């Protein structure tokens, strides 16, 4: 499939920011790191990546607004789409020299009634170290570079890998997570925690595992990944089963064979 203009704009910006992230990753021991809060770090690389993305995307679409992890909301023309951006998802991995992090960019459309924001129409998750570019457009499928993606076809839980984000340093509800884990882990082939939600969702879209759950995320963590999973044939909901354009506060994603079973396990675990 021919890549559209909007995907080219996103990929060009991500690759430019990714070049600097790769360079800084090679010098990670020299980075100046400041603390925003418990286990929540921001680096010079994070801020530089965000600035690069902002400058590139603003030049390409000067009327569009932004939702940025560091700079917050920057209003644009309310009748135009806006960018939802995580310039470095997996910051803790990055500053610990773990090569698992990504740039996440999504396009969110204004609602037709003019009251707030609606669906995600395009998204891209770029992994600078592996040079993998996961992208999707509404009703045009999900892709890894030029290869069409499809969620895993596994039907059995005992053959399935499930990814998650584990509560840490005051983030998330450890009690809730433990209930879900104890209900789910005995039934699946394994549970993985990689530390970058955008890549968790991109990998689910690519069929690398079958499900993902987490709570306490932000829109920029999941906006791109939600569309990737859906366009690859999977399902994304919150823990109550609602399929919002961006599921972040609570998110459950899965392939089309197992999402409903995972949801039943999760709901049952939280009632116990």
**248/3: higher pLDDT:** 248
Decide whether 5-148 matches 157-271 in CATH topology.
no
Q: What is the DSSP letter of 245?
A: S
39 has pLDDT over 70: no
Q: Could you tell me whether strands 82-89 and 102-110 are parallel, antiparallel, or unpaired per DSSP bridges?
A: antiparallel
Report the 10 Å Cβ neighbour count for 257. Answer: 18
Express each pLDDT in 90-105 by its tens digit: 999 998 889 999 999 9
- Token pair belonging to 102: 């990504």
Is residue 40 very low, low, confident or very high in pLDDT (cuts 50, 70, 90)?
A: low
pLDDT score, position 32: 67
d(CA 54, CA 89): 16
Greater confidence (69 vs 142) lies with 142
> Cα 151 from chain centroid?
16
User: Does the pLDDT value for residue 77 go beyond 60?
Assistant: yes
Contact 125, 228 (CB under 8 A): yes
Dist. CA 242–CA 235, nearest whole Å = 10
Q: What is the distance between the terminal CA atoms of the chain, rounded to a whole angstrom?
A: 47
CA 200 to chain centre: 7
CA–CA gap between residue 127 and residue 198 (Å, rounded): 10
Per-residue pLDDT of 127-138, as tens digits, reads 999 999 999 999
Inter-residue contact 199 to 125 (CB < 8 Å): yes
Strand ordering across the sheet containing 211-215: 190-192, 161-164, 211-215, 250-254, 235-237
Q: What is the pLDDT of residues 49-65, one digit of tens each?
A: 999 999 999 999 999 99
Q: What percent of the chain has pLDDT over 70?
A: 95
Under the banding of pLDDT at 50, 70 and 90, the label for residue 13 is very high
> In this predicted structure, what is the pLDDT of residue 169?
76
pLDDT in tens, 153-212: 999 999 999 999 998 877 778 999 999 999 999 999 999 999 999 999 999 999 999 999
Out of 6-10, 42-46, 181-185, least confident range: 42-46
Query: Which CATH number is associated with domain 157-271?
Result: 3.40.190.80
pLDDT of residue 272: 79
Backbone angles phi, psi at 100, to 5 degrees: -135, 90
In the structure, what pLDDT confidence band is assigned to residue 26 with cuts at 50, 70 and 90?
A: confident
Spatial contact of 95 and 109, defined as CB atoms under 8 Å apart? no
Residue 99 C-beta-side C-alpha neighbours within 13 Å: 9
Domain map (residue ranges) of the chain:
5-148, 157-271
For residue 155, what pLDDT is reported? 96
Which of the four pLDDT bands, split at 50, 70 and 90, describes residue 29? low
The H-assigned helical ranges of the chain are: 5-26, 44-60, 91-95, 174-184, 197-205, 219-231, 259-271
Give the pairing of strands 132-137 and 117-127: antiparallel
pLDDT score, position 168:
83
Considering the four listed CATH numbers 3.30.565.10, 3.40.50.300, 3.90.76.10, 3.30.540.10, the one that applies to the domain covering 5-148 is: 3.30.540.10
Q: Name the helix (H) or strand (E) containing 74.
A: strand 72-74
Token reading at 64 = 């569009």
> What's the CA gap between 43 and 177, in Å, rounded?
29
């Amino acid at each position: 499939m021919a890549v559209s203009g909007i995907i080219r704009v996103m990929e060009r910006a991500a690759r430019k920011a990714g070049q600097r992230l790769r360079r800084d990753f090679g010098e990670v021991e020299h980075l100046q790191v400041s603390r925003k809060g418990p286990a929540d770090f921001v680096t010079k690389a994070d801020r530089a990546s965000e600035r690069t993305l902002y400058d590139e995307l603003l030049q390409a679409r000067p009327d569009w607004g932004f939702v940025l992890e560091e700079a917050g909301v920057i209003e644009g023309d309310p009748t135009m789409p806006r960018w939802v951006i995580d310039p470095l998802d997996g910051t803790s991995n990055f500053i610990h020299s773990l090569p698992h992090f990504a740039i996440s960019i999504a396009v969110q459309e204004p609602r037709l009634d003019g009251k707030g924001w609606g669906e995600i129409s395009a998204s891209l998750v770029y992994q600078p170290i592996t040079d993998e570019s996961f992208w999707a457009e509404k009703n045009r499928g999900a892709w890894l570079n030029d290869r069409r993606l499809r969620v895993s076809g596994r039907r059995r839980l005992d053959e399935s890998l499930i990814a998650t984000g584990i509560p840490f340093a005051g983030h998330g509800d450890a009690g809730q997570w433990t209930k879900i884990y104890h209900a789910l882990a005995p039934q699946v082939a394994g549970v993985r925690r990689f530390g970058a939600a955008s890549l968790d969702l991109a990998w689910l879209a690519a069929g690398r595992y079958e499900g993902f759950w987490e709570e306490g995320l932000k829109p920029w963590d999941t906006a791109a990944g939600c569309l990737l999973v859906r366009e690859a044939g999977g399902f994304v909901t919150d823990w109550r089963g609602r399929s919002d354009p961006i599921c972040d506060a609570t998110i459950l994603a899965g392939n089309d064979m197992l999402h409903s079973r995972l949801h039943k396990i999760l709901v049952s675990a939280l009632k116990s």
